[in-house]
Structure 1
Amino acid sequence: MAWIVLVVSGMLEAVWASALSASENFRRWRPTVLFLVSMTVSMAGLAWAMVYLPTGTAYAVWVGIGATLTVVWGFVTGQERPTLARVLLLGLLVGSVIGLKAVS
């Protein structure tokens, strides 16, 4: 159960990072509210998962999921250009996250 909460919390990290960017320095209210809600739930889920999982592993998985999804969202929206190096490095990041879970 802790792993499921951690994965969802990592996904919400990507949501709040994207909402923070879209809030335009907190001038747009909808992305600002989405940022506040998703950040709160994401952090609470991470904190809960850390009760049951090693802190370093939980944090690395949370950040890895959030960072990967945030970059992929940038690709989808056209804010970032998907180069071969970026895609390969994201694959390495995802493989590392899977590896951390496998050895935990």
Structure 2
Amino acid sequence: MTGWTYLIIAGLLEIGFASMIKLTENFTKIFPTILFILFAMASFYMLTKAIESIPIGTAYAVWTGIGAIGTVIVGIVFYNDPVSFLRLFFISMLIFSIVGLKLVS
């Protein structure tokens, strides 16, 4: 796999572990807590594989960006988080920034 493939998988796994935090109810629910740990470990592993071929600053920015965007979407769809024009605008800007980092790397 390429570094970018590892990085995308790492970002998707970050969405998984970030989304599990709410379900753990302060880590009192065992199954969501186990899922949180598994997603987090897998995400960090994939991130370490990605930085073998992608500059760490770029990889970290993209990893957190994918996680942030995905977690916002999960929050809106599953947790009734608020939706506003400005919120969607700034998430869009984050997406453009991630694409820009890919283009210059």
Normalising by the residue count of structure 2, what TM-score does the alignment of the two structures yield?
0.96
Q: CA RMSD in A?
A: 0.8
Task: Report the counterpart of residue 14 of structure 1 in structure 2.
Answer: 15
Where do 5+ consecutive residues of structure 1 fail to align? none
- Partner amino acid for 1:100? L
State how 1:73-88 maps to structure 2 within 5 Å: 73-88=74-89
- Partner amino acid for 2:3? A
Task: Report the counterpart of residue 6 of structure 2 in structure 1.
Answer: 5
- Partner amino acid for 1:101? K
- CA offset digits 1:50-71 (Å, max 9, x no partner): 1111000000000000000001
Task: Report the counterpart of residue 59 of structure 1 in structure 2.
Answer: 60
What is the alpha-carbon distance in structure 2 between the residues aligned to residue 40 and residue 13 of structure 1?
9
1:80 positional shift? 1.0
Where do 5+ consecutive residues of structure 2 fail to align? none
Task: Report the counterpart of residue 97 of structure 2 in structure 1.
Answer: 96
Normalising by the residue count of structure 1, what TM-score does the alignment of the two structures yield?
0.96
What is the alpha-carbon distance in structure 2 between the residues aligned to residue 68 and residue 20 of structure 1?
16
1:79 positional shift? 3.4
Identity across matched positions, percent: 39
Q: Which runs of 4+ in 1 moved over 3 A?
A: none
